[in-house]
Structure 1
Amino acid sequence: MNWYVVYTKPKWEKKVADKLSQLGIECYCPIVTQVRQWSDRKKKVEVPLFNSYVFVQLTDADRNSVFQVPGVVRYLFWLGKPAIVKDQEIENIKKSLKAPNISDVSVSEIQVGDKIKLESGAFTNQSAIVQEVSNNYYILVLETLGCVLKIKYK
């Protein structure tokens, strides 16, 4: 069975994952804890790692069953076909989310076009190409996942 990427309505990722699980569909919605600040307090909240994405594992014949769940919009497509995520990539995401947070990271002379391997965080061991370098952030292209990552630093 393949892992596919389901695109959801905004802010519906956890609800869709719960409903898919209730239907017996294997799904994964990576969650990270962030500190959010309001005018009167700070609070730790759990938010999806990928906005509007939930990974589902099912056979090609059962792909339409996800549309029974409210909040599912469509599948994510890559080159005209439903995007397939490798088992190893899902495992890498799971492992990296269990890893302890690294607070001290040093950066040395990264240039646009460099190919780098991420050594910590949610995308550990993923290869990326540096697309943009700024005074306080990098923009990286993760080709294997088909996404763009913006990393802020101080």
Structure 2
Amino acid sequence: MDWYVIYTKPKWEKKVAERLNEMGIECYCPLITKIKQWSDRKKKVEAPLFNSYVFVQLPDNERNSVFQIAGVVRYLFWLGKPAIVRNEEINIIKNSLKAPNIADISVTSFQVGDKIKLESGVFNNQNAIVQEVSNTHYILVLESLGCVLKIKYK
């Protein structure tokens, strides 16, 4: 069975995933732990890895059943068809989130256009192309996952 990507209202990812599970629809909303800072305190919170996206696995003929849930906006489309995510890509995300967190990463020798392989963190073992280098961050293109990664450093 294929995995599809549904687009949700902003900040509704966890609610939508919970309601999909209640309906018996297999879904996956990858979460990461972030430290949020307010003026008076810091707190660890679980936030979605991909804002406004939840992955669902269901037969093609049942795809419209997700629209019964409040917060679901539409399916993500690629080249005029609903975007399909392979099982191995979902497994890469799951395994990457199990990897130990790295607190400090410092890299100084990359140049725009360099092809690199990430060796730790959430996107471990993924190939990337350095798109931008600045004083505060790198921007990497992860072609296999179809996304852009921004890495900030101190």
Normalising TM by the smaller chain, what interval? over 0.9
Taking structure 1 as reference, are residues 103 and 24 closer, same or farther at Cα in structure 2, changes over 3 Å only? same
Which AA in structure 1 matches 2:98? Answer: K
- Structure 1: unaligned runs, 5 residues or longer: none
Which AA in structure 2 matches 1:6? Answer: I
* Equivalent residue number for residue 12 of structure 1: 12
Q: How many residues align?
A: 154
* Equivalent residue number for residue 24 of structure 1: 24
- Match status 1:148 vs 2:144: no
Instruction: Report the more deviating stretch, 6-15 or 120-129.
Output: 120-129
SS at match of 1:56: strand
Residues of 2 paired with 1:74 and 1:38: CA distance? 33
Matches within 5 A, 1:55-70: 55-70=55-70
Which AA in structure 2 matches 1:35? Answer: I
Show CA shifts across 1:35-93 (max 9, x none): 11111111111100100000111111111111111101111112222111111111111
Identity of matched residues, %: 77
* Equivalent residue number for residue 95 of structure 1: 95
- Match status 1:75 vs 2:75: yes
* Equivalent residue number for residue 46 of structure 1: 46
Which AA in structure 1 matches 2:115? Answer: K
- Match status 1:33 vs 2:43: no
1:108 is displaced (CA, Å) by 4.3
Q: Following superposition, which runs of at least 4 residues in structure 1 exceed 6 angstroms of deviation? A: none
1:145 is displaced (CA, Å) by 2.1
Residues of 1 paired with 2:52 and 2:144: CA distance? 19
Would the aligned equivalents of 1:85 and 1:145 in 2 still touch at CA under 8 Å?
Answer: no
Residues of 1 paired with 2:100 and 2:152: CA distance? 18
Structure 2-normalised TM-score? Answer: 0.94
CA RMSD of aligned residues (A): 1.3
Structure 1-normalised TM-score? Answer: 0.94
Which AA in structure 1 matches 2:25? Answer: I
Taking structure 1 as reference, are residues 40 and 104 closer, same or farther at Cα in structure 2, changes over 3 Å only? closer
